[in-house]
A and B are shown apart, each in its own frame.
Chain A
Amino acid sequence: MSAMTDDTLPVTPRAVRDEMIVFAAMAVLLGLVPMTGIYPFFVMQALCFALLACAFNLLIGYGGLLSFGHAMFLGTAGYCTAHALKVWGLPPELGILVGVVAAAALSVITGFISIRRQGIYFSMITLALSQLLYFIYLQAPFTHGEDGIQGIPQGYLFGIFNLAQPTVLYYVVLAGFLGGFLLIYRTINSPFGEVLKSIRENEQRAISLGYKTDQYKLLAFILSGTLAGFAGSLKVFVAQNASLTDVHWTMSGEIVLMTLVGGLGTVFGPVVGAFVIIAMQQYLAGFGQWVTVIQGVIFVACVLTFRRGIIGEIAHYLRRSL
Chain B
Amino acid sequence: MQALYAQLLVGLINGSFYALLSLGLAVIFGMLNIINFAHGALYMMGAFCAYFLLNIAGIGYWPALIIAPIVVGIFGMILERTMLQWLTGLDHLYGLLLTFGIALIVQGVFQNYFGSSGLPYAIPDELRGGVNLGFMFLPIYRGWVVIFSLVVCLATWYLIEKTRLGANLRAATENPTLVRAFGINVPRMITLTYGLGVGLAALAGVLSAPINQVRPLMGADLIIVVFAVVVIGGMGSIMGSIITGFALGVIEGLTKYFYPEASNTVVFVLMVLVLLVKPTGLTGRAA
Residues of chain A having any CB pair with chain B under 8 Å: 1-4, 60, 66, 68, 113-114, 116-121, 123-125, 127-129, 131-132, 135-136, 139, 249, 253, 256, 260, 288-293, 295-300, 302-304, 307
- Output the least CB separation between A109 and chain B (Å): 9
Which of the segments B12-20, B90-98, B126-134 contacts the partner chain?
B90-98
> With A and B bound together, what is the CA distance between A1 and B230 in angstroms?
22
- Contact across chains for A290 and B268 when beta carbons are under 8 A apart: no
- Contact across chains for A293 and B104 when beta carbons are under 8 A apart: yes
Is B100 at the interface (CB under 8 A from chain A)?
yes
Given contact pairs A289-B112, A293-B104, A302-B101, enumerate 14 new A-B contacts (beta carbons under 8 Å).
Answer: A119-B287, A120-B34, A123-B96, A124-B230, A128-B227, A129-B268, A129-B272, A131-B228, A260-B97, A293-B109, A296-B102, A296-B103, A302-B97, A303-B97
Within 8 A of A (CB), among B73-115: 83, 86-87, 89-98, 100-109, 111-112
Which of A125, A132, A289 is close to B231, meaning CB atoms less than 8 Å apart? Answer: A125
**With a CB–CB cut-off of 8 A, which chain B residues contact A293?**
104-105, 108-109, 112
> With A and B bound together, what is the CA distance between A81 and B39 in angstroms?
36
> With A and B bound together, what is the CA distance between A169 and B139 in angstroms?
59
- Output the least CB separation between A294 and chain B (Å): 8
- Contact across chains for B271 and A128 when beta carbons are under 8 A apart: yes
- Contact across chains for A292 and B104 when beta carbons are under 8 A apart: yes
**With a CB–CB cut-off of 8 A, which chain A residues contact B91?**
1-4
- Output the least CB separation between B112 and chain A (Å): 5
- A292 touching B111 in the complex, CB below 8 Å, given contacts A117-B275, A119-B92, A129-B268: yes
- Contact across chains for A66 and B96 when beta carbons are under 8 A apart: yes
> With A and B bound together, what is the CA distance between A275 and B111 in angstroms?
26
Interface size class of B (residues with CB under 8 A): 35 or more
Which of A120, A135, A300 is close to B101, meaning CB atoms less than 8 Å apart? Answer: A300
Interface core residue of B91, B109, B231, B287 (most chain A CB under 10 Å): B91
- Contact across chains for A120 and B272 when beta carbons are under 8 A apart: no
- A-B residue pairs, 5 tightest by C-beta: A299-B101, A296-B104, A296-B105, A293-B108, A292-B108
Is B1 at the interface (CB under 8 A from chain A)?
no
For the residues of B in contact with A, the DSSP-based class is helix
Interface core residue of A2, A68, A118, A300 (most chain B CB under 10 Å): A300
- Contact across chains for B269 and A132 when beta carbons are under 8 A apart: yes
Residues of chain B having any CB pair with chain A under 8 Å: 34-35, 83, 86-87, 89-98, 100-109, 111-112, 221, 224-225, 227-228, 230-231, 261, 264-265, 268-269, 271-272, 275-276, 279-280, 287
- Contact across chains for B231 and A121 when beta carbons are under 8 A apart: yes
- Contact across chains for B271 and A125 when beta carbons are under 8 A apart: yes
**With a CB–CB cut-off of 8 A, which chain A residues contact B34?**
120
- Contact across chains for A125 and B98 when beta carbons are under 8 A apart: no
> With A and B bound together, what is the CA distance between A118 and B231 in angstroms?
12
- Contact across chains for B96 and A300 when beta carbons are under 8 A apart: no
> With A and B bound together, what is the CA distance between A123 and B93 in angstroms?
8
**With a CB–CB cut-off of 8 A, which chain A residues contact B96?**
66, 68, 120, 123
- Output the least CB separation between B272 and chain A (Å): 6
> With A and B bound together, what is the CA distance between A66 and B89 in angstroms?
18
**With a CB–CB cut-off of 8 A, which chain A residues contact B107?**
292
Interface core residue of A128, A297, A302 (most chain B CB under 10 Å): A128
**With a CB–CB cut-off of 8 A, which chain B residues contact A299?**
97-98, 100-102, 104
- Output the least CB separation between A181 and chain B (Å): 24
- Chain A residue nearest to B235 (CB atoms) is A121
- Contact across chains for A120 and B224 when beta carbons are under 8 A apart: no
- Contact across chains for A288 and B276 when beta carbons are under 8 A apart: no
- A249 touching B97 in the complex, CB below 8 Å, given contacts A3-B90, A132-B265, A293-B104: no
- Chain A residue nearest to B278 (CB atoms) is A116
> With A and B bound together, what is the CA distance between A304 and B271 in angstroms?
32
> With A and B bound together, what is the CA distance between A86 and B3 in angstroms?
45
- Contact across chains for B101 and A297 when beta carbons are under 8 A apart: yes
- Contact across chains for B227 and A300 when beta carbons are under 8 A apart: no
**With a CB–CB cut-off of 8 A, which chain B residues contact A114?**
275
**With a CB–CB cut-off of 8 A, which chain A residues contact B104?**
253, 292-293, 295-296, 299
- Contact across chains for A117 and B90 when beta carbons are under 8 A apart: no
- Contact across chains for B93 and A304 when beta carbons are under 8 A apart: no
**With a CB–CB cut-off of 8 A, which chain B residues contact A289?**
108, 111-112
- A128 touching B224 in the complex, CB below 8 Å, given contacts A3-B91, A4-B91: yes
**With a CB–CB cut-off of 8 A, which chain A residues contact B230?**
124
> With A and B bound together, what is the CA distance between A119 and B87 in angstroms?
16
**With a CB–CB cut-off of 8 A, which chain A residues contact B111?**
289, 292
> With A and B bound together, what is the CA distance between A136 and B268 in angstroms?
11
Which of B90, B98, B261 is close to A139, meaning CB atoms less than 8 Å apart? Answer: B261
Interface core residue of A288, A298, A304 (most chain B CB under 10 Å): A304
